[in-house]
Amino acid sequence: MIDINIIRENPELVRENIKKKFQENKLPLVDEILKLDEDWRKLKFEEDGFRAERNKISKSVAEAMKSGDKEKGEELKLKAKEIPAKVEAVQEKQREAKEKIAKLMMKIPQIIHESVPIGKDESENVELERIGEPVVPAYEIFNHAELSLKLDGADFETARKNSGNGFYFLKGDIARLHTAILSYARDFMIDKGFELIITPYMIRPEVVEGVMSFEEKDAMMYKIEGEDLYLIGTSEHSLIGMYKDKKINGKTLPQTITAYSACFRKETGAHGLEEKGFYRVHQFEKQEMVVVCLPEESYSWYDKMLNWTVDVFRGLNVPVRKLECCSGDLADLKAKSADIEAWSPRQKKYFEVGSCTNMEEAQARRLGIRYELGGEIKFAHTLNNTVIASPRALIAVMENNQQEDGSIIIPEAIRLYMGGQKKITVK
């Protein structure tokens, strides 16, 4: 959510930003907010007038009583008694205007960073850099689902009967590889000085509305029937929610935290052939990193966080690329974002395995996350980034370390978490 002062002082900037995000249907909201804000300020002026009138009458009552004119004093008292009701009526109208403004402001997209490329959708995202050589072996690379079955490491049919489409059972060495990747990511972030947090898997609606746009909520979140709770789509939601309505000592910033969690997402829409197996699922596991920092430090943290995810995947022998998200591919709360994509020798293309985002103060405004420094109170900046999301990362490791006979060489960085095992072989 942006500062309403930006709309008051520079509405054309807000309109231009909406156009850059190809959301022209939201342009009328700017004028609607300006009109409601004008009405609110008139009501505030009216309220102040009533209060001034009451103070004036109170002074006149005192003077009348002091001069012995009790009749005039009583008359003025009756007039003064009428004012609280008028103030209350005006305040009610103010509250209604404020509520309408707040709802509309939640729909106005964040002002994107000046460096964001302009584009309509993800097809116009810009490749920044490739790290690692994308190799296509001379031998056939098995689809991850097929290979998992050959290695007796997954059961999709039983999962469908047990839970429906979009679920899976992992077994044996593949299950262990999955947890090894996550453990490696966890320890990587601890080594970077991040505090490890175990978060709740459920959050209240006011936290959901603070961390994401309405469109994202409807597309992603599972509402728990009969409860005022949602299942988290990522631990970022709970991590940012930790700071709701808090005023932080600015000297303690930045605050750097990381969490493992299960994640739950609807994942609606059509799925391609290559997404069968555990590519696009309703439940997965992820290690997330979150930073709450001073505004002037947020883009320095953005660069570091993005590069750390690259380092994690390179440690797993997975070639990756950085992809700058264009304006039309940014969710409403994002000021700047980049995807990390892993190389798929099976598909001979890159696929998304993580996303790094600077929300600037959008989430902080919605959730009331402030800091105090040098006698000033301001909104903090919040950033989030995927360290590892598995099974996407598991797919990347399986494909890029797959041998001609279908065996998988376990990357050296995670052999510690596999009990020293170096290879997974076909049963």
pLDDT, one tens digit per residue, over 6-63 is: 999 999 999 999 999 999 999 999 999 999 999 999 999 988 888 888 878 877 877 7
pLDDT, one tens digit per residue, over 63-92 is: 777 777 777 777 777 877 888 888 889 999
- What is the pLDDT, as a whole number, of residue 217? 81
How many of the other CB atoms lie within 10 Å of CB of 123?
9
Q: Indicate the pTM of the whole model.
A: 0.89
Q: Is 60 left (phi over 0), alpha (psi -120 to 50) or beta?
A: alpha
Q: Which of 45-54, 112-121, 244-253, 337-346 has the lowest mean pLDDT?
A: 45-54
Looking at the chain, the whole-number percentage of residues with pLDDT higher than 90 is 77
Q: Report the number of secondary-structure helices (H) and strands (E) in the chain.
A: 13, 18
Which pLDDT band, with edges at 50, 70 and 90, does 177 fall under? very high
Start-to-end CA span in the chain (Å): 54
- What is the pLDDT, as a whole number, of residue 67? 79
**Looking at the domain covering 4-105, what would its CATH class be?**
mainly alpha
Looking at the chain, the whole-number percentage of residues with pLDDT higher than 70 is 98
Average pLDDT over residues 401-407: 93
Which pLDDT band, with edges at 50, 70 and 90, does 258 fall under? very high
- What is the pLDDT, as a whole number, of residue 284? 92
- What is the pLDDT, as a whole number, of residue 275? 52
Average pLDDT over residues 407-411: 96
Cα angle value 303/309/314 (rounded, 5°): 125
Tell the burial category of 201 from Cβ atoms under 10 Å away from its Cβ (0-12, 13-18, 19+): middle
pLDDT, one tens digit per residue, over 214-244 is: 778 888 899 999 999 999 999 999 999 999 9
- What is the pLDDT, as a whole number, of residue 73? 72
- What is the pLDDT, as a whole number, of residue 105? 94
Chain-wide mean pLDDT for the chain? Answer: 92
- What is the pLDDT, as a whole number, of residue 270? 40
The residue that leads in pLDDT, 46 or 316, is 316
> What b-and-e string marks burial along 87-104, b requiring 16 or more CB atoms within 10 Å of the CB?
beebeebbeebeebbeeb
Inform me whether the pLDDT recorded for 95 exceeds 60: yes
* Lookup result for tokens 């007038």: 49
Which pLDDT band, with edges at 50, 70 and 90, does 276 fall under? low
Which pLDDT band, with edges at 50, 70 and 90, does 268 fall under? low
Range from 144-148, 288-292, 389-393 that averages highest in pLDDT: 288-292
SS3 state of residue 275: helix
Average pLDDT over residues 129-157: 92
Q: Are 400 and 144 in contact (CB under 8 A)?
A: no
Average pLDDT over residues 307-328: 97
Inform me whether the pLDDT recorded for 269 exceeds 60: no
**Looking at the domain covering 122-424, what would its CATH class be?**
alpha beta
Q: What are the residue boundaries of the structural domains of the chain, listed by start?
A: 4-105, 122-424
CA distance 300 to 181: 27
* Lookup result for tokens 């600077």: 358
Which pLDDT band, with edges at 50, 70 and 90, does 272 fall under? very low
Inform me whether the pLDDT recorded for 175 exceeds 90: yes
Average pLDDT over residues 351-366: 96
Alpha-carbon torsion 298, 304, 307, 309, what sign?
Answer: negative
Cα angle value 168/171/176 (rounded, 5°): 115
- What is the pLDDT, as a whole number, of residue 192? 98
Q: Which residues contact 124 (CB under 8 A, 6 or more apart)?
A: 117, 326, 328, 329
